[in-house]
Chain A
Amino acid sequence: MSALVELVDLSKRYGEAAALQPTNLEIARGKTTVLIGPSGCGKSTLLRLIIGLTTPDGGEILFNGDKIDIDAFRRRTGYVIQEGGLFPHLTARGNVLLMSRHLGKPEQESAARLRDLCQLTRFPDALLGRYPLELSGGQRQRVSLMRALMLSPELLLFDEPLGALDPLVRAGLQRDLKEIFARLHQTVLLVTHDLAEAAYLGDNIVLMNEGRIVQQGSIVDLRENPANEFVSEFINAQRAVLFA
């Protein structure tokens, strides 16, 4: 009963090509699960299946052991993507408060929550009135994170949230994310390309290749007991870049 979300034989194909082979995965409550693997291996597909942006060809998704109602589920889930996906016609504040306003939550409550989130994500209050185009990439990701956190979701999904940022900003945000996840005991599923980031943030690292999960465990597990040739190659390749 420690898994918040459970994928059972979940699969997806585009035409002839299988983007995701029938896959089983448990996303542990209160932990950060990181999906990693080469480009095109099906990481984004897996995330999009969970949030219902794509419909699966087979299998099912269980939330707290039950089948999900997608509309209700989406409101208990936050989703952050690489470029933030912020709405350009709304200010930072407008983006963050969009859903709580839509659901008719009391303004005062929302305003208080927004203040807390600004502190949590280290986003300057003064910039709340700016439009996405007036913010830096890092600031945009912080707004995107606030928007995802606004309704206190049980699950946070990230698809390469830091992919487009420069190394310094990226390192800063990684630290902040780790702290936020720990403080909120947040259940997180995060996609990254970067093994160091996976190692730093992930409690459980899930390595994928060609639409299937090849191995999962801690970074030490993957390094010490690679399941096959691919795993060791993948880990060594990233290390080679790191220490070249």
Chain B
Amino acid sequence: MKAFALLLLLASSAFAQPPVRVGSKKFTESYVLGEIAKRTLIEANIPAEHRQGMGGTIIVWQALRGGQIDAYPEYTGTIAQEILKRSDSLGFEEMANELEKVGIGMTEPLGFNNTYALVMRRDRAQSLGIRTISDLRYHDLKIGLTHEFLDRQDGWQPLARTYRLHPRNVIGIDHALGYAALKSGEIDVKDAYSTDAKISELDLVVLNDDENFFPRYDAVFLFRFEMPAQAIAALHKLEGTIDEQKMIRLNAEAERTKDYARAASLYFGDNARSTTTESLTHKITRWTIRHLQLAGVSLLLAIIVGIPLGIFASRGGAVGQLILGFAGIVQTIPSLALLALLVPLPYFGISARTAITALFLYGLLPIVRNTATGLQDIAQPIRDSATALGLEPGARLRKIYLPIASRSILGGIKTSAVINIGTATLAALIGAGGLGEPILSGLNLNDHATILQGAIPAAILALLVQWSFDLLDRILIPKGLRL
């Protein structure tokens, strides 16, 4: 009972909403800009929180629309093409007017144009004599592109059409991993942002956009008009304060130190002190607690809902089939897709709530199925004896059937728990935190040490869960069934 109360407490603290929530997309520059905004707000005495790396444009935009975040950094090109879905070139004023119609405000440009670009290793480009994107037409090269660039309306498809490119080898690859692949020669060309620190770090060349395909990508902040006026004013102060050189420096600092807050502090001119330095143990503890909240609350819900559903399903018939069928279908949806499906729904969006709901749905099937089969496997003579003794249906279930099925039910709960611990790492994708946070930013920075800060505790957690359930088996499964 105490454990239950504790779980509820953890759950409610997980839902507590701090005042101004700044979001960011899943790449270094967005993280850094998010940190800068957070610090700017805090220095203006407005409590603020940064939800790091929530995913791609659509997810973060939906979060802003849905009010799960209040502001995030965006680029004018992306706003026109992806958000407003306009193929004609849109002036800055028109863009602001369109956004205003849906209750979203836009700052003036922050001062740099981070356009898309195609990049190659300098030695490779020179040996092939490639300087422009048009030059790619005469070579059959391996091209590795981010999934977002592959799908964007202003991305690969129209680019290839404009430049009449027909390469045979085009693969989708994560942005950070793509740089590693480029460095090792596994791919020849990749997409990049023109302010990527990696461009100077890896000595890459930006291919000349000789057909002027890429529109301008001036960085701005998008925000909700409902945000406090002082907060809006604080964001406006950032306008025109970051040029390309400065942004590249900030990005490079972020990649070098693996610390976004510290890179952001470079912007404020105090590169020594970081506002949010947190010891590693403290960070890992925080991630782990959050991870356990996500997995624990969702597991608890799955148990509370799954066992009754399993009891229903064990009675067979159309309803039973329907329950097992539904739970089975949920399980076949890739976890990432399930998150993506929930995010746009009202009430969900970018929140711990969404992550917990997805994990809950995932955890359901093993519990429902094991409860149902555990009950169905009870031999007829046992059922007959229970009935003939004169036990009422409820008492039969409580005193006879459920205890006999306990091994199977606990097995289902254990499976759910282990799945949830693993899947909860994906919660970081929608800014719900947990041990996925270091894994994700490590992936983003191509930094193995950071990845391990999340991966090792997650693995240990899974083992601990396994062990504690083995212990629980011994306590909860009646001795007569363990002979």
Q: From residue B308, how far is it (CB to closest CB) to chain A in Å?
A: 21
Q: A87-B404, A88-B404, A99-B390 are in contact. Are A53 and B481 (CB under 8 A)?
A: no
B304 CB–A CB distance under 8 Å = no
Please provide the chain B residues from 348 to 389 with a CB less than 8 Å away from any CB of chain A in the complex: 381-382, 384-389
Q: Is the CB of A74 within 8 A of B404?
A: no
Q: From residue B173, how far is it (CB to closest CB) to chain A in Å?
A: 54
Q: Is the CB of A85 within 8 A of B478?
A: no
In chain A, what residue has the closest Cβ to B392?
Answer: A71
Contacting residue for B480 out of A75, A85, A89, CB 8 A: A89
In the assembled complex, which residues on chain B have CB atoms less than 8 Å from the CB atom of A91?
480
B391 CB–A CB distance under 8 Å = yes
Q: Is the CB of B390 within 8 A of A71?
A: yes
Q: Is the CB of B404 within 8 A of A102?
A: no
Q: Which of A13-21, A117-125, A127-135, A193-201 contacts B (4 or more CB under 8 A)?
A: A127-135
Question: Would you call the interface of chain B mostly helix, strand, loop, or mixed?
Answer: helix
A209 CB–B CB distance under 8 Å = no
Q: From residue B422, how far is it (CB to closest CB) to chain A in Å?
A: 32
Contacting residue for B388 out of A79, A89, A134, CB 8 A: A79
Question: Would you call the interface of chain A mostly helix, strand, loop, or mixed?
Answer: mixed
Q: Is the CB of B391 within 8 A of A99?
A: yes
Provide the A68-85 mask, 1 if CB < 8 A to any CB of B, else 0: 000100110101011111
In the assembled complex, which residues on chain A have CB atoms less than 8 Å from the CB atom of B382?
85, 87-88
Q: Is the CB of B385 within 8 A of A85?
A: yes
Q: From residue A200, how far is it (CB to closest CB) to chain B in Å?
A: 25
B400 CB–A CB distance under 8 Å = yes
Q: From residue A131, how far is it (CB to closest CB) to chain B in Å?
A: 3
Chain B interface residue count, CB cutoff 8 Å, equals: 22
In chain A, what residue has the closest Cβ to B481?
Answer: A89
Contacting residue for A131 out of B386, B403, B406, B480, CB 8 A: B480
B6 CB–A CB distance under 8 Å = no
In the assembled complex, which residues on chain A have CB atoms less than 8 Å from the CB atom of B381?
81-85
Q: Is the CB of A53 within 8 A of B384?
A: yes
Determine the distance from Cα of A99 to Cα of B406 in the docked complex, in whole angstroms.
Answer: 21
B280 CB–A CB distance under 8 Å = no
Determine the distance from Cα of A53 to Cα of B389 in the docked complex, in whole angstroms.
Answer: 11
Determine the distance from Cα of A74 to Cα of B400 in the docked complex, in whole angstroms.
Answer: 17
Determine the distance from Cα of A176 to Cα of B479 in the docked complex, in whole angstroms.
Answer: 31
A235 CB–B CB distance under 8 Å = no
Q: Is the CB of A98 within 8 A of B399?
A: yes
Q: Is the CB of A75 within 8 A of B390?
A: yes
Q: Is the CB of A133 within 8 A of B480?
A: yes
Determine the distance from Cα of A226 to Cα of B390 in the docked complex, in whole angstroms.
Answer: 39
B483 CB–A CB distance under 8 Å = yes
Q: A71-B392, A102-B399 are in contact. Are A79 and B483 (CB under 8 A)?
A: no
Contacting residue for A133 out of B388, B391, B400, B483, CB 8 A: B483
B83 CB–A CB distance under 8 Å = no
Q: From residue A39, how far is it (CB to closest CB) to chain B in Å?
A: 18
Provide the A44-56 mask, 1 if CB < 8 A to any CB of B, else 0: 0000100111000
A189 CB–B CB distance under 8 Å = no
In the assembled complex, which residues on chain B have CB atoms less than 8 Å from the CB atom of A87?
382, 385-386, 400, 404, 480
Q: From residue A151, how far is it (CB to closest CB) to chain B in Å?
A: 8
Determine the distance from Cα of A53 to Cα of B384 in the docked complex, in whole angstroms.
Answer: 7
In the assembled complex, which residues on chain A have CB atoms less than 8 Å from the CB atom of B480?
87-91, 131-133
Determine the distance from Cα of A75 to Cα of B388 in the docked complex, in whole angstroms.
Answer: 8
Determine the distance from Cα of A158 to Cα of B387 in the docked complex, in whole angstroms.
Answer: 15
- For the complex of A and B, 6 pairs with smallest distance between CB atoms: A85-B385, A131-B480, A74-B390, A89-B478, A79-B388, A75-B390
A-B contact pairs, 9 of them (CB 8 A): A48-B384, A51-B388, A84-B381, A89-B478, A99-B390, A102-B395, A131-B480, A133-B480, A134-B483
- Excluding A79-B388, A81-B384, A98-B391, 14 further A-B contacts by CB distance (< 8 Å) are A52-B387, A52-B388, A53-B384, A53-B387, A71-B390, A71-B392, A74-B389, A84-B381, A85-B381, A86-B385, A87-B400, A90-B478, A98-B389, A98-B399
